[in-house]
Structure 1
Amino acid sequence: MTAMTPGSNIPLSAVRVAVDVTAPVRLDVSGLLLSADGKVRSDDDFIFYNQPSGPGVTYRSGGGTAPDAIVVDTSAVPPGIEKIVVTASPDAAGQSFQGIEPTATVRDADTGSPLATFTPPRLGSETALVVIEVYRRQGAWKARAVGQGYANGLAGIATDFGVTVEEEPAARAAPPARQAPRAHPQPAAVDPRTAPPLPPMPPAPPAAAPAASSGKINLDKGRVSLQKNQTVSLVKGGRPLLSQVKMGLGWEPAFRGKDIDLDASVIAYGPDRKHLDSCYFGKLSILNGAIKHSGDNLTGEGAGDDEVIVVDLGRIPAEASGLVFTVNSFTGQKFTEVAKAYCRLIDAATGEELVRFELSNTEPQTGVMMAKLIRQFSGEWEMTAMGEYVKSRTVRGMVKPASAAL
């Protein structure tokens, strides 16, 4: 059985799989069938307790004593459906995931044998969660750990996947009267157990900007500009990028005439989040030379990247599956004294910039996790923008929080 981390995936060895989600409190579990545009086709594609079956996907109640589950029969999913996302939200109205640690288990639906588990890290004010997605890739079915939270409950998830919802007051004591959310353009009721009063629905995001819940694209259309928590698959022309890349990290002093001394590093982890090694100004080469550091920049002045870390993706040993890129202020300067901090991934052979992520906010901390690269079961790498601040002046203090963020 595989213990998954955010963004990782596994091939499905069973035609019929069940995804159940457990927690110390009762959860409502639902599924949405999504087409190539990442949206539901109609209200029939929303599967939950009050609409328990759809094409190839069914809701299975645990009856309050066992976890609810979404069962996917991949042989019966219509050709136009590319993924099924499995969501969870606390049963109590308005309750968040603060202090609740849900765990999703992907099972063979016929034998009950577990195939993988996933516990999303760092949950807090979220009241709903996209936990797992079961998706089709080149004729094969896989499962990916997601862990994307929403602070506006089921309504936030529904809106993000193309469902227009409005609140309809209903008595909790009469569950048969509750109706499923309906797809655009016909609004209908959403489950009042999980949906707080809704603000006016925001406009749908433009197609060029991937939504935070699905948020993953590849390199086929050229340079990718990421926002926080978005992911890009390092695949171009259908092939994984396995050559040398450079992670360039740069910054400028926020106040003219003042030097800023920051240190860029990369921390390598195994599939169980075990720390393997760290590459930084004091150790310029790790993993038998597969990762190399350019050396320390003491001021941050000047155009271009301040520090560069070269990663030979094809030479990363098999036991290394996650890389977290960090920046620290060894001298104790806070990131509120830093301007224009960014990281960018560059093709080392051509010098072409592939991916860029610019920090849009600063916090009075001395460390930040900029981005992570995670190797998928298929061998491809995925880069996710992070922008998570940590109180640490050295890479040593980043090892534990970076592990938790994988």
Structure 2
Amino acid sequence: MTPGSNLPLSAVRVAVDVTAPVRLDVSGLLLAADGKVRSDDDFVFYNQPSAPGVTHSAAAAGGDTITVDTAAVPEGIEKIVVTASLDTPGATFAGTEPTGTVRNADDGSVLASFTPPRLGTETALVVVEIYRRGGGWKVRAVGQGYANGLAGIATDFGVSVEEPAAPAAAPQAPPAPPAPAAPWGPPTGAPAPVTPPPAAAPAAPAPAPAPPAPGPGSGKVNLDKGRVSLQKNQTVSLVKGGRPVLSSVRMGLGWEPAFQGRSIDLDASVIAYGPDRKKVDNCFFGKLMILGGAIQHSGDNLTGEGAGDDEAITVHLGGLPPEVTGLVFVVNSFSGQKFSDVAKAYCRLLDAQSGEELVRFDLTHAEPRTGVMMAKLIRQYSGEWEMTALGEFVDARTVRGMTKPAAQAL
């Protein structure tokens, strides 16, 4: 199987073996329709080896097995995700290729196998998921990686995990109230997601000066005349010659300390929303890949030192599911440093395949706050995407605290 592919299950009882050359901790999570566990009892692992219809069994070496009896899974459970994390503290999946093998649990016959590609700094990942569809059950290859171990996966799916003390973060913002479907909602019959190509390495050449985008009222800006330099609240359509020109883009974000010699630890993230302005998922340093690999993060930069982009987020537009209609790119100061201590903050949009810079937005002023919404990408009814420079500051030290203000910015 390849990432995102799925197959119908021909067996009622299936066993998912996850193996690797090194010791793995394998777990299963029973998820309701909201994508969360109902309680911590729905987290199956070596210390809690059973839940209704799902069991964990240990192997002698390499990895463990999650067995799913689909006939015994409670009605309220829509999906079982099978995860793997490395047993050695601090180890990553770089150079290690775990394989998930789905077998008929009664006769041992192999139904499918999947080896997630392009693993690097991940310390845990969702390997496959078993899910209901049309009165039956299917298996999907996922391969979504996390940089903060099994705790990151468990927390993302609603399991309570005790974490070491850290600087206080902004509390979880409540979800935005329901709003009418925005005019940038997905068109009916939007194409199905496709397997994205490998992410391009972040590029960092200094851009040449570009003419600023026309001011308000001067017509929609596009890429017909080459690279566009945006000012706050200006929008550019990612179209050239009347046609969308991109399948994959990379958002590069960069900054420098305002005072020489001081390190600035900022975190770049992207939040994906649906047409109702409800969060679909977010990608950040602790969760380097989401939506089946359609969005990938370059990893955490702890100082802001060095030329070029400090962090980059690659988006395979053709691989985004139809329900994702808006993306908001944000930067936060987890350690509490203010943006008034930051110089030369910018974001730039590049063609992920060629590395060509297409759009740039330089933050020309700063406020003594801990979060900033840099830009948003919006899918139009026609299927094309538009980028708008935001430059809006908020008090939020984590991407979670940006969820509500970013939804309002859409």
SS at match of 2:318: strand
Q: What letter matches 2:226 in structure 1? A: L
Identity %: 52
In structure 2, how many angstroms separate the alpha carbons of the residues matched to 1:382 and 1:368? Answer: 20
Offset, 1:21: 1.4
SS at match of 1:144: strand
- Structure 2 partner of 1:351: none
- Structure 1 partner of 2:137: 141
1:97 aligns with 2:19: no
1:371 aligns with 2:338: no
**Shift in alpha-carbon separation, 1:198–1:147, aligned structure 2, 3 A:** farther
Decide which of 241, 247, 250 is 1:325's aligned counterpart: 247
In structure 2, how many angstroms separate the alpha carbons of the residues matched to 1:42 and 1:60? Answer: 21
SS at match of 2:150: helix
1:107 aligns with 2:56: no
**Shift in alpha-carbon separation, 1:32–1:370, aligned structure 2, 3 A:** closer
1:152 aligns with 2:148: yes
- Structure 2 partner of 1:84: 80
More off after superposition, 200-209 vs 54-63:
200-209
Offset, 1:145: 2.1
SS at match of 1:166: coil
Alignment gaps of 5+ in structure 1 = 168-196, 210-219, 226-231, 244-253, 261-293, 312-322, 329-333, 345-354, 395-406
Decide which of 16, 31, 35 is 2:13's aligned counterpart: 16
SS at match of 1:30: strand
- Structure 2 partner of 1:403: none
**Shift in alpha-carbon separation, 1:390–1:16, aligned structure 2, 3 A:** same
Offset, 1:89: 0.7
- Structure 1 partner of 2:239: 307
SS at match of 2:41: helix
Q: What letter matches 2:210 in structure 1? A: K
In structure 2, how many angstroms separate the alpha carbons of the residues matched to 1:107 and 1:39? Answer: 26
**Shift in alpha-carbon separation, 1:18–1:373, aligned structure 2, 3 A:** farther
In structure 1, how many angstroms separate the alpha carbons of the residues matched to 2:116 and 2:100? Answer: 9
Q: What letter matches 2:239 in structure 1? A: E
- Structure 2 partner of 1:182: none
Offset, 1:88: 0.3
Higher RCO (CA 8 Å, separation ≥ 6 residues): 2
Q: What letter matches 1:73 in structure 2? A: D
SS at match of 2:315: strand
Q: What letter matches 1:107 in structure 2? A: R
State how 1:266-281 maps to structure 2 within 5 Å: none
In structure 1, how many angstroms separate the alpha carbons of the residues matched to 2:92 and 2:119? Answer: 9
In structure 1, how many angstroms separate the alpha carbons of the residues matched to 2:246 and 2:24? Answer: 32
Offset, 1:299: 4.3
**Shift in alpha-carbon separation, 1:164–1:369, aligned structure 2, 3 A:** closer
CA contact (8 A) 1:129 1:147 kept: yes
Q: How many residues align?
A: 274
**Shift in alpha-carbon separation, 1:122–1:223, aligned structure 2, 3 A:** farther
**Shift in alpha-carbon separation, 1:335–1:67, aligned structure 2, 3 A:** closer
Offset, 1:123: 2.3
State how 1:160-171 maps to structure 2 within 5 Å: 160-166=156-162
More off after superposition, 17-26 vs 115-124:
115-124
SS at match of 2:154: helix
Decide which of 3, 6, 26 is 1:29's aligned counterpart: 26
Offset, 1:144: 1.9
Alignment gaps of 5+ in structure 2 = 193-205, 213-221, 256-269, 273-278, 285-296, 299-307, 330-348, 357-410
Offset, 1:37: 1.9
In structure 1, how many angstroms separate the alpha carbons of the residues matched to 2:168 and 2:7? Answer: 35
State how 1:278-297 maps to structure 2 within 5 Å: 297=225
- Structure 2 partner of 1:298: 226
- Structure 2 partner of 1:268: none
**Shift in alpha-carbon separation, 1:208–1:152, aligned structure 2, 3 A:** farther
Q: What letter matches 1:149 in structure 2? A: G
In structure 2, how many angstroms separate the alpha carbons of the residues matched to 1:374 and 1:110? Answer: 36
The alignment's C-alpha RMSD in Å is 5.4
Offset, 1:135: 1.3
In structure 1, how many angstroms separate the alpha carbons of the residues matched to 2:108 and 2:7? Answer: 17
**Shift in alpha-carbon separation, 1:111–1:373, aligned structure 2, 3 A:** farther
TM-score, length basis structure 1: 0.52
CA contact (8 A) 2:249 2:351 kept: no
In structure 2, how many angstroms separate the alpha carbons of the residues matched to 1:74 and 1:235? Answer: 35
Offset, 1:371: 1.8
In structure 2, how many angstroms separate the alpha carbons of the residues matched to 1:145 and 1:138? Answer: 18
In structure 2, how many angstroms separate the alpha carbons of the residues matched to 1:372 and 1:107? Answer: 34
In structure 1, how many angstroms separate the alpha carbons of the residues matched to 2:180 and 2:11? Answer: 34
In structure 2, how many angstroms separate the alpha carbons of the residues matched to 1:164 and 1:23? Answer: 28
**Shift in alpha-carbon separation, 1:104–1:327, aligned structure 2, 3 A:** same
Decide which of 168, 190, 197 is 1:241's aligned counterpart: 190
Offset, 1:235: 8.9
CA contact (8 A) 1:60 1:70 kept: yes
CA contact (8 A) 1:369 1:389 kept: no
- Structure 1 partner of 2:42: 45
**Shift in alpha-carbon separation, 1:374–1:389, aligned structure 2, 3 A:** closer
Offset, 1:223: 4.8
In structure 1, how many angstroms separate the alpha carbons of the residues matched to 2:53 and 2:123? Answer: 27
Offset, 1:137: 2.5
**Shift in alpha-carbon separation, 1:335–1:29, aligned structure 2, 3 A:** closer
